């Protein structure tokens, strides 16, 4: 009887989620351009691509931290897991250590990239010393995590291994965002504002021809990567906090269970709002990007923490 009620409740939650998402997407489809005019226009000035609003730029710089932060931690867990393996297992340890250095590098490099672009100094990113400094940061972060928390990770491996796999699976879904962006080619609102022509606007479900039409002007490819929002997807990796009550006894109180949802929702919502306010994305872009992240987290939560949990 209890199982039937629980199953029915899950179906009701899923139906409510789809209904809310569908309703918001319908509204976004109709009012995308109007919402961007309302939120983004006051923060854009003639002749400048990036927003003049401090908080919009702050989100542009820092919003992707969750995806790189969680990925680095997951790679460290997998490095510890493969530490005592022999044969191919030793190769895995080197691979995961390198993966941790890579994601740790991009944790800082992504922030610096957007900061340099906003300030018009992106040429710095081509300098050898800059990339060496970013790599040194990734290496330092990895070494510190392994040195300070390696033994604790090993002691709680049965709990942390499925968590690491759920993180890796969720973060890898970012590839779908990138695979959609280029073929769709939706022009950003701030790019249209920059050239002073909004006739290139297209709804989210239609492939845009703006890149081909404007190719002779030599515009940056970034101008045509509006849908879906990569920043919002990356920020939505904060939803990995939802896994905490499944993993840690200290998070199984009612208050912390609520926080495990409230904090990621607030963070992702803030990122989404300021991405629209920056003119970088439309309402539908951030809605789809954030929802993709949430669905990815819930899928891998089910797969590794429920379906396959006993195997760990």
How do residues 196-220 score in pLDDT, each as one tens digit? 999 999 999 999 999 988 877 777 7
Say what the pLDDT of residue 6 is.
Answer: 67
Closest CA to 272 of 236, 300, 218, 304: 236
pLDDT above 70 as % of the chain: 95
Eight-state DSSP code of residue 306? I
**pLDDT band, residue 17 (cuts 50/70/90):** very high
Measured between alpha carbons, how far is 264 from 267 in angstroms, rounded to an integer? 5
Largest separation between any pair of C-alpha atoms in the chain: 66
Helices then strands, each counted (H, E), the chain: 13, 0
User: 65-81 vs 128-155: helix axis angle to the nearest 10?
Assistant: 50
Measured between alpha carbons, how far is 292 from 73 in angstroms, rounded to an integer? 22
Average pLDDT over residues 238-259: 93
**Is pLDDT of 1 > 60?**
no
Say what the pLDDT of residue 309 is.
Answer: 67
Closest CA to 268 of 245, 287, 247, 243: 287
Alpha helix positions (H), 47-188: 54-62, 65-81, 88-118, 128-155, 157-172, 174-184
CA quadruple 67, 78, 164, 303: dihedral, nearest 10: 130
Note whether 190 and 225 are within 8 A (CB). no
The percent of the chain in helix, strand and coil, each rounded to the nearest 5, is 80, 0, 20
**Is pLDDT of 187 > 70?**
yes
Say what the pLDDT of residue 5 is.
Answer: 54
Interval 128-142: pLDDT, tens:
999 999 999 999 999
Average pLDDT over residues 77-92: 81
Say what the pLDDT of residue 60 is.
Answer: 96
| CA 261 to the chain's CA centroid | 16
Interval 33-52: pLDDT, tens:
999 999 999 999 988 999 99
Instruction: Supply 70's token pair.
Output: 């969680």
Average pLDDT over residues 112-118: 95
**Is pLDDT of 84 > 80?**
no
Average pLDDT over residues 219-240: 93
What is the pTM for the complete model shown?
0.93
Average pLDDT over residues 172-176: 95
């Amino acid at each position: 009887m209890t199982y039937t009620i629980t199953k029915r409740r899950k179906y009701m939650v899923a139906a409510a989620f789809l209904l809310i998402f569908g309703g918001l997407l319908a509204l976004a489809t109709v009012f995308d351009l109007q919402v961007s005019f309302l939120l983004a226009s006051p923060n854009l000035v003639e002749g400048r691509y990036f927003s003049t609003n401090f908080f919009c730029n702050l989100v542009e710089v820092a919003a992707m931290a969750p995806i790189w932060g969680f990925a680095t931690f997951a790679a460290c867990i997998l490095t510890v897991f493969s530490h005592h393996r022999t044969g191919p297992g030793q190769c895995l340890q080197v691979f995961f250590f390198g993966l941790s250095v890579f994601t740790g590098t991009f944790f800082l490099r992504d922030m610096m990239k957007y900061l340099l672009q906003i300030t018009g100094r992106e040429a710095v990113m081509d300098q050898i010393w800059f990339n060496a400094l970013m790599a040194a940061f990734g290496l330092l972060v990895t070494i510190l995590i392994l040195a300070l928390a390696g033994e604790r990770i090993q002691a709680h491996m049965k709990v942390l291994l499925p968590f690491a796999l759920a993180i890796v699976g969720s973060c890898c879904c970012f590839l779908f965002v990138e695979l959609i962006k280029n073929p769709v080619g939706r022009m950003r609102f701030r790019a249209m504002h920059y050239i002073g022509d909004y006739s290139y606007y297209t709804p989210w479900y239609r492939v845009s021809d703006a890149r081909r039409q404007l190719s002779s002007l030599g515009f940056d490819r970034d101008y045509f990567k509006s849908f879906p929002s990569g920043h919002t997807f990356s920020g939505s990796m904060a939803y990995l906090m939802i896994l905490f009550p499944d993993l840690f006894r200290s998070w199984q109180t009612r208050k912390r269970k609520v926080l495990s949802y409230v904090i990621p929702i607030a963070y992702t919502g803030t990122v989404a709002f300021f991405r629209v306010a920056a003119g970088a994305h439309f309402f539908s872009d951030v809605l789809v990007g954030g929802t993709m992240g949430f669905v990815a987290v819930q899928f891998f939560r089910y797969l590794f923490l429920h379906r396959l949990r006993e195997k760990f």
